[in-house]
Structure formats: C-alpha cells, structure tokens
A and B are shown apart, each in its own frame.
Chain A
C-alpha cells in the first residue's frame, strides 16, 4: 500500500500540463483509479502532473447544440449540474451511480474515460450518447468518438503525449426518454452489468434507440442490433424482450468471482429490458 517514488507537480496551465505529458509525465486528476494502482505498485509512474485543479479543464457549458464538459469535471459536478440534468439527463443519472459520495467528489469524467475500466459506468452512457472526446497533445487536438475511443480493457485510442481535454455530448431532444440500469458489484461498486438507454418516439413508434453497455465484456459498446430491433416498434413487452436478448450477442463475455459469463449474459438481457422499459416510460 506504499507507492514507489515519484515526482509530483501541479500544472498551472493546460499548456504546462501538455508539455509535461509530452515529456512522459502521467496525468493525475481525481486519483480514484491511478492512486490505488500506484499504492499496489501495479502502476509505477515516475512523474505525475496534476491536472485536477486546472480551471481550463473544469467547466460544463452549452455551445453549438452540445454540452461541453471539461475533463476535470467531477462526477458530482456532472451529477448535480442543472445544465446536465436538464439537457443531458442520461449523463447525470449515470454519474449518480458511480462509486460513493467521496469517489464522486474526487473522480473526474476525463480520468474515468482515460482509465477505460471495462466495468466503469460512464462509458455506457457515453456510447449511448455517441459522445465525442477532444484529445489534446503538443501537436494539436483531434476529436474521437466514444465508439472508436474504447479499444479494450484499460486500452484506449489515446496516443503517448495525449490527454482528454473535453467531452462533448449532444443536447437531448425534448421527449427523449433515458435510463441507466445497473447491477452493482457489491464490493467495488462497479457495474457487473450497466445498460444506458435513450429512446425517442414519434407517432406511437420508437423513432430512435441508443443502447450503451458496460461491464459485460472487455470494453463498452453500443448494442446496435438491439437498437435496430426497437426502432419502428411500438415497444410491447415482447418487442422489448426480443431487443434485450440481442444486447449480449456476438460479445466475449467477462467471467469473474462476482458473475460468471452465463449469469452476466442473462443479466444483460434483464437489465436491458428494464432500461428499455424505463426509458420508454419516460419518453413522450
């Protein structure tokens, strides 16, 4: 529980942080994942650059028809922000399921995404929201979709020297129903299965469905077949069940102490059905 020696510096500006990261420093924000790994000596960075206090990374604002969330916004800020609650309620609802109060007060959205824990909550919502991440390095910025960003367990599209600067999520259209349904791993609080749903209806039919999945496999994903199965349907119990059954299809399913692959596959269907029903009931 004692980390190896490391150097620590708190960045004064974003440019300063980028320079440090380009030089090999590991960015530290809330420390909810990195610090425990360092204490167990599973991560042994030689230099940390603290970006958690950068005002340039701590904001939530609306512009250009989207919400822009700075990488250092804490889970609590996302959970409690009036802007997020009003304009992207799936994200605030999902944030409220992360860890516990202390974790939500410290942990940041950028940190969670960059860590890419396959059981983290945010990725489910970000997949369903088709979120985009602005990645910054000393050579400039690029924008990557959530679908492309999450590569595998703890593996992302981040290149050496890059950091997440911002998360962009769309403003939810009026009448869209959303839900995040999760079975907790009781010790860690992470998701054994987490399903994020967005559903819009038009003329009594489902006009849009987005399903983000976490916990089930090595990385979060959108259950596109299940989405397609819902679109154009009225949303009867049978239709929900049929769509939910597609969620764990064609996926390598995790198995661990807390849930076997069979059980996880089953839970994915149960929780997907619950999330679809909940989102549908909230849609107008």
Chain B
C-alpha cells in the first residue's frame, strides 16, 4: 500500500527533537552489553600491573583448571594474528610492533597479557586472578620531557632516545619576521593528558559461525567499516566473511575512532572456541587502555610589530605518544601544526614536532584532536601579546583576522580557508556580554581588590574531514537512499553516528528534498552487512560529508522520480515538488509513492532507466570546512580558596547553516563541557612509575551537570561553499573554543597580581598558590 504522506512544511533549520532519544531515555536501546546469545562465553583480560617489565614466564594452568573456564590464551597463542594497526604515516616514523597480547615484555600499565574465557563473567574474572606471571620489572618513564632526557629508560629497547618521529614544517620568512619584530613573546604551554570517558566503555561480542565461515563482531565503534577491513586483515579472514556491527554507541569522542587489540582478540577467541564470546571493558580498563587525548608540551614564540600585527609564529610540540601507536596516534599533532595560525593572517610559521614514546597508554584523537591544543596555544599567545603591548585582547584579534573579503584564504600551513567573517562572532559575543560595561565593572572591582576576569577566544577549526589525499583512509563518505515500493524512504549512511543526531538531521534533509513526512524516513547506520562501505563519524564530518553524500543520492533519485513522473503523466513538462510530480500543463500529479511503486512494478520504464528507486553516492569533498567562532567568559576568583566561578559563558559559533539548531546547541553544550573539563578539572596523572593515579571516576574529574555554567549559545551564519548544504560541522567547536577563553579569563583576573600564564587544569589550589605567591 502506498502510504507516503506528502508535506509542504520544510524541516531544515527547525528545532526538531531527536528521533533517537525515546529509546535512549527509556533504556530500551541495544548496546553491546545488551547482546545475549545462546552458548555465549565471557572473556576477562589479564593485564600488566607494571608500566615496564619483562615477562619471565606465564603459568596459566590454575586458571585453565578453574571450573567453568573454556580456554586461556597468551601471546604465543595469538602469534598468527596481525599487530594493532597504525593508519598514520610520517617520514621516518618508528612503529613498534604491538601484538594483541604481550609476548616477552610489557610497556604500559594495562598492557594485555592473557585472555581467560569462561561460561560466565564472574568465573572469567576469578580465573584471570589465577594466571601467574613472573615479572622482571624494569624502569619506566611516564613524562615526555623526561623521556627525551639522556639516560632515560627506553620504552622500546631498539630506540633508546624514545623518539618516534621528528616532523618539521615551515612557511614564509620566519627568521626575517622575528628579526624585524618589535616584540617577541615566548611561553611554554601544556595541554594535559585527558581521558575521553565515554559513558559506555568499549565492548565486543564476537560470533563465529564455522559452518557459514562467517564472523560477526559487535563493537562499540565510530568506524565499523574500517574495523572490518583492518580486523579482517589482522585475523587473516576474508573481509567479506566479517560483519561488523556498531549497535547503539554510548559516546566516543574519538576514543572509538580506532581499532583495538580486543576487537581482533575476541574474533580470534570465538573462532578458536566456536562459541560467541563477550568482553565488556570495565571503567578501570577504560581509563588504563582506551586511548587518551592531548598530552602536549608546547613551546611557543610569537613575533609582532608594536601596533599588534603578528609577524610570525614558532612552535615546538613535544607530543606524548604513549607506548605505541594506535590508529592515528602520530598524526594528531600534525593537525595542531595545520591549525597553528588560528584565524590570523600571518604567513610566517615554523613548526617542529617531536613524537615521544612514554610508558603510558597511547594518545590519539579526542574531541578536537590536535586542534584544541593549537587553538589553546595561539589564543593564549595572542592574549599574552596583547598584554605585552597593552592592547585590548579583542582589538589585537580584530587587527590580525583574515578579512572577510579574502576568502578562499591560503594559510601558512597549506590549508585553504573556505569562507568566514571572523569579526562577526567576536563582535556579537562582545555585544551580548556588554563588553565595555564589563571592562568598566572590572576596573571598579580591581579597585576593591576583587579578582574578576574577562576572557576571549576566537577559534577556527578544520572540519568535515576531509579530502581523501589529506586523510589516512579516504575522506569521502557514502549514502544510499532507497524509496521502497510502498513509498517509505530508507537512508543508509556510511557515517556511523553515535550520539550526533543524524537519524534526525538526515531525515530532515531527506524529508525536505523529497517532500515527504519525516516519519516516512528511516536512517540506518553502523552495520557493514546493511550499509555500503563508509568511513565513519569523527572530525565533525558526519553531516558535512555524510549528509552531503545523502544529498547527492537524493538528487539522483529525484531525477529518476521525475523520469517516472513524466512517463506516468505522459508529459515532458513536469515539476517535482512537495512529494509530487505535477504536470505543468494539466495539473495532474503522481505521488512519490505512486512513482516508486511504478518503478518496482516496472510495467513500463522510461528510456534508458533501470527499475527500482535506489541511489548510492560516494561524495569526495573538495576541501575541508573551517568553522569559527568566539567564546567570551567572565570569571570571578575567590581569593581565599582559589575557586573559580564562571559568571557568564557566551558562545557564538559559526558552523555554517544550521540544519537543526536544537542539536547544534546540544553539540555546543557538550563540547563546552569537555573544554571546561580540560580548563578546570580533568587530568590523567601518571606517577614516575607509570601508574595511573587518576584510575577511577573518584579521582578523575569529569564535569558533572551541577558544575556547568549557563551557556549563552548563539550563532553567526557563514555557509561554506564546499558542500551544497552549506554546513561546516559543529561537533568539536565547543571544546576547541572553550579552554583558551576560560584560561584567558582567569589569567586576566589574576593579571593585577603579575600572572601571565596558567597551565591547565586550573585547580583551586593552583590559583590559591598564585594568589598567595603574589602577596
């Protein structure tokens, strides 16, 4: 029965509630942990308690003899499984061979050594405690600068300098710029290690069906197709025999943009024991073994003229890589280099990266991935420059912005900024804040000895990752749109959303394009046996790249519908609009459902036209997109305790067109929460022995709802010319814009005390020490 409802109201741009929310908030969504299968076994992983040790011997006999244990595997058992893959390539990159279970030595706390498989998870956990390992503990190094010092313990014996790579990039006349400068400001700026802390930890269910020679892997991932390709290679299994399903994914923030040892390990186990096997990561395992983010020590120098014109920027990044490379580990700091000029016009840059091995879990992409570090750096440096020149921080920014008539703008780092009006969000934020009045109030407050700060950051991002030549695995995205014989519309996106709301925003676009009701549209994703090959959701690309692929698939379908409409209406002069094909002469019309039904029934076909109503489109983006914005933060400092309170948080983000402002707000709020986390609270702390001190949620400070300020979120809109939707992406904006605005605000508050810089997180004790030191 043809039931498609036609509609005339447009949905794009409306605050439509998320269609995925009912199942999430009623607890009926299916996560990996919810999957149960007959005969299912459970895996517990034995992990190294040491950051650096040799394994003299492993005795699994007691564990194997424990009632209920089906199997125990150690490193030598999985010798045939390929190493954990690194997808990034840099000249001269040293890549440690990281097998899925350690063999002769371990190099971080949490390093998997053995896997115990049992009939229930309690037995597995008990038996894991029975695996006896004779360790020869060696010295560890957990700090990247200490790892570079001579005589430091070698994380990998074959590379005693602990360097994984050196990277250099330069543009313009940097030495001349610094020689001619009136002022040079230098600062060491750290961007501490953070733990992504997705609400759902990782988890894998593997089901091997020997008779079908088919392995299904349910895994909490952002990139199911890439996991399929890479895990198939690791296991030596034909890729078309492996199905990867990302069921409901409870947050990723980049930490699930990866291929992990446990994904291949569970596949291996299930193939060995011939039973489905489940492994669910505990929170402690998550903190120890899922990638961390950031981990920068940055040395900045900025050169300028007296009038504030920036002449050049030098940056040396010491990147804490951790003990080995996960999928993109070494590539992340190169994004920092690309972003280092920020929104400013200077063409003179010099950047060096030293990638350093430490006895810690690897760093990799975490919300913003290299760009928050770069934005934090340049936005701090610009503030320090303003302070040095006694200029207002807004004024120095306005002076150095790329002008709105200069786009497309080639940057010093080889990018081409697509479109922008960088002054607009800054001016809007200042208007919303009442900037001049705030400065007057601050002057008054300072007379009374009060510490009040006003901080600005104006950020840019590299989003919609990205053109394929600039990405490790291809940067296109795919979509299939099917109009079923009954007229219902199914969208399959290769972007694998995990909380971004694409089931809603994609349906809005499809509904508008086809002129059908949003309830007639179903958006599917995350299953490699349902969805055509895709890349995934990360780097603020889901809508800007995946949505664009769908848009073009829809255009092809519309052209095909029109052919069927013309045939059915027996007219060359037809218009497709509002869910109908209308004959412009007679006014006769055929609905989408009628045309779809006719295409499958195929009693007659238009010339050179196949039956059916399906289109698949792989869209290759010609460029990244470059969202931007301004965040303005007003803080008050309690001098007695060092506590920071955020009085106002104003976020003006320009992410191009807004498909759904409600979802955009949510992305900004969540992003700001994670930016505040870095600015104020979060830090992964390893001690000198490589033990993770912040190994639990009772010590690692994730922002809670009650710790959040009210966020005054608004926008300017500068559509991108890169895609027809005009959308730039907004998943990471809040995080990128936030931390420098907060730090600039607190430094501004403390500037009467002579404070010029504060490293994150700005804990009350740190602030109290600065206040105390000034007296």
Contacts and interface: CB of A to CB of B under 8 A. Distances in A.
Interface of A: 1-2, 4-5, 40-41, 100, 183, 186-188, 257-260, 263, 266-267, 270
A1 B700 contact: no
Interface string B693-704: 110111111101
A260 B121 contact: no
Contacts of A263: 765, 768-769
Contact of A259 (B44, B125, B129, B765): B765
A186 B707 CA distance: 9
A186 B694 CA distance: 13
Contacts, number: 46
A187 B701 contact: yes
B697 A187 contact: yes
Interface string B274-286: 0000000011100
8 contacts: A2-B125, A2-B282, A5-B122, A40-B696, A186-B701, A186-B704, A260-B765, A270-B640
Contacts of B129: 41
A95 to B, nearest CB: 17
Contacts of B699: 187-188, 257-258
Contacts of A258: 699, 763
B760 to A, nearest CB: 14
Contact of B700 (A100, A187, A259, A270): A187
Contacts of A100: 704
B284 A40 contact: yes
Contacts of A260: 765
A244 to B, nearest CB: 11
Contacts of A41: 129
Interface in B670-709: 681, 685, 693-694, 696-702, 704, 707
Closest 10 A/B residue pairs (Cβ): A1-B282, A2-B125, A188-B698, A187-B701, A263-B765, A186-B701, A270-B640, A187-B699, A187-B698, A186-B681
A259 B125 CA distance: 35
B694 A257 contact: yes
A112 to B, nearest CB: 16
B239 interface: no
Interface string B110-129: 00000000000110011001
Contacts of B696: 40
Contacts of B30: none
Given A186-B707, A188-B698, A257-B694, A5 B126 contact: yes
Nearest to A259: B765
Contacts of B764: 183
A267 B641 contact: yes
A265 B59 CA distance: 49
Size category, B interface: 20 to 34
Given A41-B129, A266-B768, 20 more contacts: A1-B282, A1-B283, A1-B284, A2-B121, A2-B122, A4-B126, A5-B126, A40-B284, A40-B696, A183-B641, A186-B701, A186-B704, A186-B707, A187-B698, A187-B700, A187-B702, A257-B685, A257-B694, A257-B699, A267-B641
B696 to A, nearest CB: 8
B146 to A, nearest CB: 19
Contacts of B282: 1-2
A270 B765 CA distance: 13
Interface string B735-775: 00000000000000000000000000001110011000000
Interface in B273-329: 282-284
Contacts of B702: 187
A234 B99 CA distance: 72
A269 to B, nearest CB: 9
B708 to A, nearest CB: 12
Nearest to B281: A1
Contacts of B681: 186-187
A63 B54 CA distance: 66
A255 B423 CA distance: 47
**Most A-side CB within 10 Å, residue of B643, B696, B764:** B764
A183 B704 CA distance: 16
A168 to B, nearest CB: 31
A265 B139 CA distance: 35
Interface in B214-248: none
Contacts of A183: 641, 643, 764
Contacts of A2: 44, 121-122, 125, 282
A244 B170 CA distance: 58
Nearest to A260: B765
A259 B282 CA distance: 27
Nearest to B42: A2
Contacts of A187: 681, 697-702
Contacts of A259: 765
A257 B640 CA distance: 20
Contacts of B694: 257
Nearest to B694: A257
Contacts of B707: 186
Contacts of B284: 1, 40
A144 to B, nearest CB: 29
Nearest to A190: B698
A188 B698 CA distance: 4
Nearest to B703: A186
Nearest to A273: B640
Contacts of A4: 126
A2 B116 CA distance: 14
A197 B125 CA distance: 47
Contacts of B685: 257
A100 to B, nearest CB: 8
Contacts of B697: 187
B698 A257 contact: no
B775 to A, nearest CB: 13
Nearest to B286: A1
Contacts of A266: 768
B641 A270 contact: yes
B707 to A, nearest CB: 7
**Most B-side CB within 10 Å, residue of A2, A4, A41, A263:** A2
B371 to A, nearest CB: 26
A36 B391 CA distance: 53
Nearest to B641: A270
A58 B126 CA distance: 36
Contacts of A186: 681, 701, 704, 707
Interface in B120-157: 121-122, 125-126, 129
Nearest to A183: B641
A74 B764 CA distance: 32
A265 B382 CA distance: 37
A257 B687 CA distance: 11
B44 to A, nearest CB: 8
Contacts of B643: 183
A161 B316 CA distance: 63
Contacts of B763: 258
Nearest to B123: A5
A39 to B, nearest CB: 8
A5 B763 CA distance: 40
A84 to B, nearest CB: 24
Contacts of A270: 640-641
A267 B769 CA distance: 12
A183 B640 CA distance: 12
Contacts of B122: 2, 5
B231 to A, nearest CB: 25
A106 to B, nearest CB: 16
Given A5-B122, A267-B641, A270-B640, A257 B768 contact: no
A270 B768 CA distance: 12
A267 B700 CA distance: 21
B142 to A, nearest CB: 15
A257 B700 CA distance: 10
